Amino acid sequence: MKSNFYEEGGGRDWGIWNSIKKEFQFGIREKSPMLAEAKLFKKIRYNAYKYRFETRPYPTEKEKALGFQYGPQYGGGGPPIPEKRVIELVEAGIFKPHLNKKR
């Protein structure tokens, strides 16, 4: 990552992703990856060096609606936002449902 992006975060919220459990952990939500890592080290000390922890941006509402996999607490099996909001996104043209293609 570029150093200014690492410090500023690109306008998204960042958290600590556990690559083994496939979920965000520790309830850390910061404005940059640097601040998220600092909070992780403050919370669990040198165990934060373990390979399983990494900083990732929290999914946006559009990403959630498109069904990206972010673990069970973020709707790993489908859209985690209310159905009414998905309908609004479809009507606005932001979300396009997948078409079933026969192979």
Place of tokens 């958290």: 15
Q: Would residue 68 be called left, alpha or beta, if left means φ above 0 and alpha means ψ between -120 and 50 degrees?
A: beta
**Are the C-beta atoms of 95 and 62 separated by less than 8 Å?**
yes
Grade residue 80 by pLDDT with cuts at 50, 70 and 90. low
Task: Measure the CA–CA gap between 103 and 89, rounded to whole angstroms.
Answer: 29
Task: Measure the CA–CA gap between 16 and 27, rounded to whole angstroms.
Answer: 8
Number of neighbouring beta carbons within 10 Å of residue 92: 8
Grade residue 16 by pLDDT with cuts at 50, 70 and 90. very high
Burial profile 20-55: b = 16 or more Cβ within 10 angstroms, e = fewer: eeebbbeebebebbbbbbebbeeeeeeebeeeebeb
pLDDT at 81 over 80: no
For residue 71, the model assigns a pLDDT of: 45
pLDDT in tens, 26-78: 999 999 999 999 999 999 988 888 888 999 888 877 777 665 544 444 444 44
First-to-last C-alpha distance (Å) of the chain: 39
Grade residue 99 by pLDDT with cuts at 50, 70 and 90. low
For residue 75, the model assigns a pLDDT of: 42
